[in-house]
Structure 1
Amino acid sequence: MKRWAAVLLCVGFIGSTQVVGAVSARKSVEASMMLTGSLELAADGSVSSYALDRQDLQPEIADLIKRNVATWRFKAQDGGTLPGKTSMLLRLVAKPVGDGNFGVSIVGANFGEKDPASSISFKDRQWPKYPDMARHAKAGGIAYLMLRVDRSGHVTDAAVAQVDLTSVSSDSDMRTLRTVLGDAAMRAAQNWTFNLPTQGPHANDASWVVRVPVNFHMRDQGLPDKDGWMAYIPGPRQEIPWLAAYRASIAGAVDTSSEETPSLVGTGPVLTTPLNQG
């Protein structure tokens, strides 16, 4: 790899992007923001109220969320009862629309209670070693993993769903880097163990599926800016055959999860309407 450059993004409402590197990569730069909060759900599945943990959002972003939340409708998992309140994790993405402008939409969401006894958490996690090739090139990215965990807390299936890059180079070099980062993350994850749910409707499940992002970054690369936006070159979504049964529970994106808290798939209320309606 001969030439890599960090992706730089300035976001006012949605600002301008400046990338040094391959032309095709410059055209595909995106930025994402993760937001947490909670929803109050009515018996009919509508949202009676919501709250965001962050209060300093740009008015346009706050309005986008307000307009879309008003259209959401939910149903309970497996014909159960809807919870009166649920936590939410939203992923917003800004994409170029021409003339230096960006359009923002909600592309992913994760809904569910955060009660530790009803959730899954890391028990033993050794973070992957930074691959030598990527370290020498000062290149980074985020590998989004999907893991299936058995009742012993061990990983029985692991797959790389997507790898986004925070550095750019030629198309061939970026393909190589995605493979290198994804393989490093998956090798490490196969040795992780988890604390399992001890109560709630999924405590007796035969297995669980979790989403975990693994961030490979050097210095300030791969970290959000002061407004919470992180720039990257999106990678292709990979088809994972064993994940097909959980597709309805993923709510639009495999990359809506926290590095510190694994996201349990197939739990929490199910969104039955479009996540983003403009």
Structure 2
Amino acid sequence: MDAGSPQTGASAPFRGSTMKTAALIAASALALAIAFGAGAKNSDAARRNTEVSMVVRGHARLNPDGDIQSIAIEREQKVPAPVVALIRDSVTQWRIEPTQQDGEATTGPLKLTARVVGRMQDDRNVALKLKSVHFGEDRTDVAPKPGTMRKPSYPAALAGTNAAGTAYVLARLNANGEVDEAMVEQVNLNVVASEKRMQEIRDAFAASAVGAIKKWKFIVSEQYRAADASPVTVRIPVGYETPQLRLPGYGQWEAYLPGPRARAPWLSQDARSADADVVADGDFQVVGKEPRLLSARSGE
């Protein structure tokens, strides 16, 4: 299985402060409906379909055989303790194919990004699930070119609304680091409306994100190109918010409706199957260059 974004299936009940989190899910679902003036029918649908989620960053350290020995969570004090425990207890059971440098396996830390979701089980209990994890190297050989990263504008067609969400864009770079092709993989919404209206919102966010990112430039080092001459693809999240509906900060739960997934035809099957939304706003990922997940540890 590709370690870019393995479907873990790992889950755990979230007890202790469950009342607070259960109330958050119910209130967030209702807020999604109210924020865009949805009727009672859409409000009920939002309650049924909404999940709360957060994206957590950190680093994983390997031993020479590829066993994950330890996990360091970024700004751990901001992340709920049950989320930290779920990530750490699950991921330390995995084995990654180590990268090689001068014939030796490297054990230096891998960048880790995890998406944890919570769903109501009943009025008091929430089930947490480690939906997916992305591993990658802390890259310095592919980086945005300063001065070219104009932030996409909020769509004029949505002015005066409370529409908010995140568009996940794939950009394929040419030899000069310019964006040759860009497409939106997925748009998650933080509001709910009719299916037709939600598609209009997704389309508006997608057009804004792609239009801006096509003008971005990246710096790709000579060393990277010498090792791999194939085109570089990067995944970029673009968040859209309003003064009335702000996207949550790091370590905070987010209520959202996942959007339909599109597939980039130029990517490998493994890269296309990886989840699109396991990357935090303000970050980016080099796609298709992730280390390979081998297995859970033997004997466990």
Query: TM-score, normalized by length of structure 2?
Result: 0.76
For residues 91 and 153 of structure 1, the distance between their equivalents in structure 2, rounded to whole angstroms, comes to 29
Deviations along 1:100-151, one digit per CA (max 9) or x if unpaired, are 64322222323223242x2332441222221122222221111101111111
For residues 128 and 59 of structure 1, the distance between their equivalents in structure 2, rounded to whole angstroms, comes to 34
Is the alpha carbon distance of 1:216 and 1:152 closer, same or farther for their aligned partners in structure 2, counting shifts above 3 Å? same
Partner amino acid, structure 2, of 1:74:
I
Aligned to 2:113: 89
Task: Tell me if 1:155 matches 2:201.
Answer: no
CA contact (8 A) 1:122 1:262 kept: no
CA RMSD of aligned residues (A): 2.9
Task: Tell me if 1:16 matches 2:25.
Answer: yes
Deviations along 1:167-213, one digit per CA (max 9) or x if unpaired, are 12112111111111112111111111112134358765332111101
Is the alpha carbon distance of 1:215 and 1:100 closer, same or farther for their aligned partners in structure 2, counting shifts above 3 Å? farther
Task: Tell me if 1:58 matches 2:80.
Answer: yes
Q: What's the secondary structure of 1:48's corresponding residue?
A: strand
CA contact (8 A) 1:141 1:163 kept: yes
CA contact (8 A) 1:196 1:203 kept: no
Q: What's the secondary structure of 1:241's corresponding residue?
A: coil
Partner amino acid, structure 2, of 1:234:
P
Is the alpha carbon distance of 1:239 and 1:260 closer, same or farther for their aligned partners in structure 2, counting shifts above 3 Å? same
For residues 82 and 121 of structure 1, the distance between their equivalents in structure 2, rounded to whole angstroms, comes to 29
Task: Tell me if 1:35 matches 2:56.
Answer: yes
Partner amino acid, structure 1, of 2:88:
K
Runs (5+) with no aligned partner, structure 2: 1-17
Q: Which sits farther off after the overlay, 27-36 or 144-153?
A: 27-36
**Deviation for aligned residue 1:55:** 2.6
Task: Tell me if 1:119 matches 2:142.
Answer: yes
Task: Tell me if 1:45 matches 2:69.
Answer: no
Specify which of 284, 287, 297 is matched with residue 262 of structure 1.
284
Deviations along 1:217-270, one digit per CA (max 9) or x if unpaired, are 11252421685212211111112222235527x7x4111223333211123422
CA contact (8 A) 1:76 1:268 kept: no
For residues 157 and 166 of structure 1, the distance between their equivalents in structure 2, rounded to whole angstroms, comes to 27
CA contact (8 A) 1:16 1:101 kept: no
Is the alpha carbon distance of 1:241 and 1:81 closer, same or farther for their aligned partners in structure 2, counting shifts above 3 Å? farther
For residues 199 and 12 of structure 1, the distance between their equivalents in structure 2, rounded to whole angstroms, comes to 50
Aligned to 2:3: none
Question: Which structure: larger Rg?
Answer: 2
Runs (5+) with no aligned partner, structure 1: 1-9
Identity %: 27
Q: Which sits farther off after the overlay, 64-73 or 252-261?
A: 252-261
- The aligned length equals 262
Q: Which sits farther off after the overlay, 126-135 or 264-273?
A: 264-273
For residues 240 and 109 of structure 1, the distance between their equivalents in structure 2, rounded to whole angstroms, comes to 20
